[in-house]
Every structure is written in structure tokens, then in C-alpha cells.
Amino acid sequence: MFSYRHAFHAGNHADVLKHTVLIATLDYLLEKETALTVVDTHAGAGLYRLDGDYAGASGEATQGIMRLLASKGSPGAPEVMAPVLQRYIDTVVGDFNPGKTSARIYPGSPFITHHLLRDHDKLKLFELHPTDWRTLAANIEQLEAGRQIAVLREDGFGSATKFLPPPSRRALVLCDPSYEMKTDYGRVLDFIAEALKRFATGTYAVWYPIIPRPEAHDLPRRLKTMATKAGKPWLNASLTVKSSKILTTPTGESRRPGLPASGMFLVNPPFTLKAQLAEALPQLVAILGQDRNAAFALDAGG
Ligand code: SAM
């Protein structure tokens, strides 16, 4: 446990999908004046340096946010970026790297969310990794947000439902585990089931990896069944950037391809989200696709 550090993955293609959906969902929910509580069950460190040792070593942002930024004006790139993608770029680059066209600082979900929230909204952050929790707490302290933000070194699966329903009865819950342990898949399902029981009208957003493992394959299908049985609308969006086949190097060694695809499953999504993603996902395939397996899927129901 705890070998996962999001700093290696910040700004990769999965973050591009996840944070585009997060920003679009927050923009919609923040149209109403009533206070919103955002619960981030797996918060990470909050802020990342893309020119630092971790991100530099993995190079994942090069195939994610950097590729999206570099695509502007390049052959095959869309002439006009889909509004939700432009909004994502403006937020993570423009607002966190003022005056720059490239991203040196990459904001994780806690910073993106706090940046968009209003003073009367609340943010509850859960992070268990001792180092990332310390970094997160120190990063958040600099915001001087006082009681608006709570940083908890607790199990997000086990404790986050204590904030549901919030007093204003409006909440977005982001559930973004590392899936380091295969029990995480079952814990996501139990967590969403419990959360829906407590607060059926909340908006829930679950990120999941698409990898050749039965639990991963089953997760969106089981979330869909859960939402349908609860009579709640849902949306499932996924982005594949490359094949999941194990590669053989010229010297005959086997090499895993790295994360080939991921998805976002939402219960009670904004009704505007499907049309926004229908425009954005084909552009992400064109820009972030690494081989002919690149594809997207977008499905909704309820
Ligand atoms: N949500 C972040 C973002 O978008 O910037 C990234 C989160 S990262 C994918 C998952 C994080 O969950 C890791 O930092 C990991 O240490 C933490 N974690 C793992 N198990 C946890 C648990 N049971 N409760 C809370 N945090 C956990």
C-alpha cells in the first residue's frame, strides 16, 4: 500500500479527462447561489510541479496537458477548441501559471475546486498518504481559507459520508482512488451505495482506470446498475489513448504500456454535461490519441 504518488501522474491524459469533467460539473453546480459542499475522498497533494523530479521522471504530462497545449494551431488539431476544453486550459494554465502559455504548476482537484468555489461554499479533503497529506495540508494553509476547507488524514471511503447530506443539501463528491489495491473497486461501489442512501440528490463523480483486470472492467457496469436501480440519472465518459497490449522491446523484454484509458462515471450529472463532452471527447481523441486504438465512449441514462 501507499506506493502510489499522484505527482508522477499529474497532468496526464486521465487528469485531463477528470479535471475537464470536474470543472464543467462545478461550473454548472455553482450557477445556483445556495452553498455547495465538495467532498474530495482522495485528494492527493493538491499542487504539482510539472518541471520537478516526479513529473519529469514519468513524462506523463507530456502526453496529457502538454500535448493539449501544444496542439493549438498544429495540423489535425481542431480549429476551435470545445468550450469545456478551453475552460480547462484557461483554469489549469491561465489561472495557475499567469502570463505563461505552458503549465509548470499543475493544480490537483483540491486546488481546482477551491479556485472555483465561492466564499460560502465548503471543501472537505481526505488524504491518507502521510507525505502527501503533509504536503496537502501545507499547500492548503497558504490559501488562508480558514474553516472553508477541512483537510482530513482519514480514509475517504470510510469517513467521507459523514458530511452527507450537507446543511445546504447541495454537494459534489469526487471519488478518485489510486486503485493501488484491487479492493478499491469494491470499496468504491460500497461507498457510492452508502452515499446515495444518505443523500440521494448529491452529484457523485467517480474516476476509474480502464485496464485488463476484471474488477476494473466491471466497475462502470456495476455503477450503472446501482444508479439505475436507485432511479438516478447517470453519465459515463471514457477516453482511450492507446492499446493496452503488453509491448515487446527490440531486446525481447516485455513492457507494460502505462495507463491506456480511463473513465468518469457520474450519478446525478449536470444535464448539460453530455452535450459538452460530445464535443470535447472527439477532440481529445484527435489530440491525445497515441495509436489507432484511440477512442472515446459517452453514454448516459436514467
Ligand atoms: N484527486 C486528486 C486529483 O485529481 O488531483 C488525485 C488523487 S490520487 C489519484 C489518489 C490519492 O488517494 C493518493 O494521493 C493516495 O495517497 C490517496 N489515498 C489512497 N487511499 C486512500 C484512502 N483510503 N483515503 C484517502 N486517500 C487515499
User: Catalytic: which of 15, 121, 176, 184?
Assistant: 176
Entry pTM: 0.96
The H-assigned helical ranges of 163-289 are: 183-198, 214-229, 273-288
Structure confidence at residue 220 as a pLDDT band (50, 70, 90)? very high
Tally of CA atoms within 13 A in the half-sphere of 166 that contains its CB: 20
For residue 54, the model assigns a pLDDT of 67
For residue 137, the model assigns a pLDDT of 97
Adjacent-strand bridge partners of 295: 240
Q: Is the CB of 176 under 6 A from ligand 1?
A: yes
Q: Is the CB of 109 under 6 A from ligand 1?
A: yes
264 contacts 21 by C-beta, under 8 angstroms: yes
Residue that wins the pLDDT comparison between 249 and 243: 243
Domains and CATH numbers, the chain: 6-235+266-273 (3.40.50.150)
Which tens digits make up the pLDDT trace of 251-274?
888 877 899 999 999 999 999 999
Q: Is 299 a catalytic residue?
A: no
Q: Is the CB of 184 under 6 A from ligand 1?
A: no
Calculate how far, in angstroms, residue 124's C-alpha sits from the geometric centre of ligand 1.
13
Q: Is the CB of 9 under 6 A from ligand 1?
A: no
Adjacent-strand bridge partners of 207: 264
Nearest atom in ligand 1 to the alpha carbon of residue 156 is 24
Which tens digits make up the pLDDT trace of 140-176?
999 999 999 999 999 999 999 999 999 999 999 999 9
User: What does the DSSP assignment read for 221-240?
Assistant: HHHHHHHHHTT--EEEEEEE
For residue 51, the model assigns a pLDDT of 86
User: What does the DSSP assignment read for 58-123?
Assistant: H-GGGGTHHHHHHTTTSTTS-SS--HHHHHHHIIIIIITSTT-SS-SEEE-HHHHHHHH--TT-EE
% of the chain exceeding 70 in pLDDT: 98
Calculate how far, in angstroms, residue 209's C-alpha sits from the geometric centre of ligand 1.
14
User: What does the DSSP assignment read for 108-171?
Assistant: -HHHHHHHH--TT-EEEEE---HHHHHHHHHHHHTTT-GGGEEEE-S-HHHHGGGG-S-TTS-E
Mean pLDDT confidence for 198-203? 98
| pLDDT over threshold 90, residue 6 | no
Cell representation of residue 222:
456495476
270 sits in which H/E element:
none
